[in-house]
Copies of this chain bind each other. A is one copy, B any other.
Amino acid sequence: MLTPKQYKLLQFIEKTLAEQKVSPSFEEMKDFMGLKSKSGIHRLVAGLEAKGYIRHLPNQARALEIIPHQPNISSFYGVSNDDSVALPLVGKIAAGYPIEAVATQDTISVPPQMMGLGEHYALVVEGDSMKDAGIMDGDTVIIRRANRANDGTIVVALVDGFEVTLKKWHMKGNSVALEPANPAYQTRIFSADRVEIQGILVGLMRQY
């Protein structure tokens, strides 16, 4: 899951935090990693945060925090630690904004078998455009962040940078088809550069 660099940095942060009760500054991390610039650190920190290993307050100095890490799924051989995982609930899909733009602190607890490797998040479905695939208005879908998908899988797609939608993904040459699962809606076709995959559907939960 972690790259060697991310792992090395994580260890340094943990160590510093344990010894000095203060997280290291970007400058200190830069020195430790042997870099000439802090940007690389910025990126590593973002990566660690995305993968759920640390948390940090934006624009605050030395405000890193280690998240006691529970791997997404029973990760190492033989050991199975199967606590359910709290995923960020990033909002409603079809709401018309990129997922990143939706600030939220809501989380939803999801059983571990629902997820595999990688970064996941949850969305509430709005609308019935995927009705025939058994995805109803109000359902919570579990998404694994990804930017590519196999043909025919259901993805969260970002169109023109602002419209988010859950549809079946088809890529034909340089054009992309977003296919609903409801005859009342039409398949929409875009040039490949207008559409970006934000994640792949991996699970669904519904409450009655």
Contact = CB atoms under 8 A, between A and B. Distances in A.
Interface of A: 1-4, 7, 14, 17-18, 20-23, 55-63, 65-66, 68, 73-84, 108-114, 116-118, 131-136, 139, 146, 148, 153-154, 200-208
Contact of A4 (B4, B62, B81, B204): B62
A148 B58 contact: yes
Contact of A206 (B109, B117, B203): B203
B68 A117 contact: no
Contacts of A73: 65, 78
B62 A3 contact: yes
Contacts of A61: 3
A17 B17 CA distance: 25
Contacts of A22: 1-4, 7
Contacts of A202: 207-208
A22 to B, nearest CB: 5
Given A2-B21, A22-B7, A111-B110, A59 B148 contact: yes
B57 A114 contact: no
Contacts of A139: 134
Given A1-B23, A74-B78, A205-B206, 7 more contacts: A2-B62, A17-B76, A17-B77, A55-B117, A81-B84, A83-B83, A84-B84
Nearest to A118: B57
A111 B134 contact: no
Given A61-B3, A108-B111, A154-B208, A78 B77 contact: no
Contacts of A131: 132, 134
Contact of A82 (B23, B65, B81): B81
Nearest to A61: B3
Contacts of A1: 22-23, 62-63, 65
